[in-house]
Homo-oligomer: A and B are copies of this chain.
Amino acid sequence: VVLRNLLDNGYPGAIYPVNPEAEEILGIRVYPTIASLPDGVEVGVVLLPAQMTVPALQECVAKGMGHIVLSAGGFAEFDDRGGSIQRELSAIIKQTGVRVLGPNTSGHTSTPAQLTTSFFPLGKIRPGQLSYIAQTGNFATHTMKLILTSEHYGVARVIGLGNKIDVEESEALEYLGDDPQTHAILMYLESIDRPREFLHIASRVTRHKPVIMLKTGATDAGRQAAVAHTAALGTEDRLVDGLLRQAGVVRIHAYTHLVLLGRALSSAPLPRGNRVAVLAPSGAMLVSLADLCARLGLRLPDLEAQTLQRLEEHSGGFIRLRNPVDIWALTSKSGIKRAYEEGIDAVMDDPHVDAVAAVLMLSPDQENPSPEVLKQIVRAQPEKPLLLSFTGDRQSIEAFEAEAASLQLATFGEIEQPLEVLSVVARCRGAMDRPE
């Protein structure tokens, strides 16, 4: 699978499979042993059971390879025997200076280099401007597959840390902080090994790039699960919270948000602040979303007189106009299409508003708002995110979403998600703007 992935991604370098039993795999000549390889191989990917990893690493080092990916699990996270193998690996690293990713990793990906060492069948990986650092195999395996098949964004680098006996989060973050291909960094961690180092590096990176982290093991149940996963020893959660806040890293708590934020960061600008205008076709949605804004630390600013006047022009005059905006007020006079297009344009134009979240009500029985018109509004306000969600008829929603995707409009499946995402990216902006 690793070979297939390298071929699918058009890796331009030479590839040397090693296997004692095959002569050719996928048309590539196979070498019987590591020792029989030609000289000059730069990266070794070792896909062998834990107990065979130590001699393999030694042979790779002897062959002059400076960088090794150790994929197998079954080390400290599994049992004492695995823990002792892991200590042997650490000793080799210390003695030889070889750089190791893993063990217990699904590898890493670099779309600018057309390289992936993932052992999960991925096909061509879409390039993008986001990078993931993950103390788990997911982001190089099935979560990447989900991103490639469900999302429209791509990635620059993915670094699967695994049990991180050598390369760990601080070094990976430092690399991505300086990486011109990486505009935002999403992290999944179960432990932070060198908190002081991490604070030092993250404090610098977060001044010019959003850094968002899901740090799990926040509860006893989570900590126990983390030991079984990557042998991670969790820190008391309040300390983690304090460290991340000081470092300007924005903490999230749901796995799914690692993907939703990738979507938001790839298709919308960072807002200048946390002042949001909300539009929905329903008082109930507006009230529950107003509650949600308050919980998430988002503000619902009063709209300018001029904005209210623009909204009033379309209003049927039976619903009070304010932020959050009940789009229903505008529909009886102007119809759904114009109500949304004019309403969104008016609030996007308001200088008190940093970002707009709109719930579009779509139906086959009406003229629906046009993705192209909304895209024009977004183009006119390149510093304001417009995040969309939906209610109404499923087919109409899917038709809108397909067109929105081709225009790179940011859409979300649930009405809460645009606000959840905005609260995170507004905090990223706050970290970038914080005083020295």
Chain A residues at the B interface, C-beta cutoff of 8 Å:
49-50, 72-74, 77-79, 121, 134-138, 141-143, 145-146, 149-150, 188, 190, 214, 216-222, 224-226, 228-230, 253-256, 281-295, 300, 317-320, 322, 324, 326, 361, 363, 365, 390-395, 397, 413-416
Contacts and interface: CB of A to CB of B under 8 A. Distances in A.
A221 B229 CA distance: 42
B145 A363 contact: yes
A274 B72 CA distance: 35
A328 to B, nearest CB: 8
Contacts of A138: 282, 284-285, 391
Contacts of A281: 142
Nearest to A278: B225
Contacts of A414: 256
A219 B290 contact: yes
Contacts of A230: 283
A391 B149 contact: no
Contacts of A121: 363, 365
A317 B228 CA distance: 13
Contact of A221 (B188, B283, B300): B300
A70 to B, nearest CB: 13
A255 B137 contact: no
A320 B393 contact: no
Given A142-B363, A216-B288, A225 B255 contact: no
Contacts of A317: 74
Q: How many copies make up the complex?
A: 2
Nearest to A390: B146
A221 B282 contact: no
Contact of A136 (B136, B146, B283): B283
B320 A78 contact: yes
Given A229-B326, A282-B137, A326-B229, A391 B224 contact: no
B254 A416 contact: yes
A416 B255 contact: yes
A394 B295 contact: no
Given A150-B394, A222-B291, A216 B73 contact: no
A415 to B, nearest CB: 6
Contacts of A285: 138, 255
Interface-central residue, A149, A150, A290, by most chain B CB under 10 Å: A290
A115 to B, nearest CB: 21
Given A149-B394, A291-B218, A413 B416 contact: no
A290 B225 contact: yes
B394 A224 contact: no
Contact of A284 (B73, B188, B283, B416): B188
Nearest to A224: B290
Nearest to A298: B221
A79 B72 CA distance: 68
Closest 10 CB pairs of A and B: A229-B283, A136-B284, A219-B294, A74-B318, A222-B291, A149-B394, A225-B290, A221-B290, A216-B287, A225-B287
A164 to B, nearest CB: 13
A300 B49 CA distance: 30
Contact of A392 (B142, B190, B283, B415): B142
A289 B137 CA distance: 16
A225 B324 contact: yes
A145 B141 CA distance: 37
A74 B283 CA distance: 13
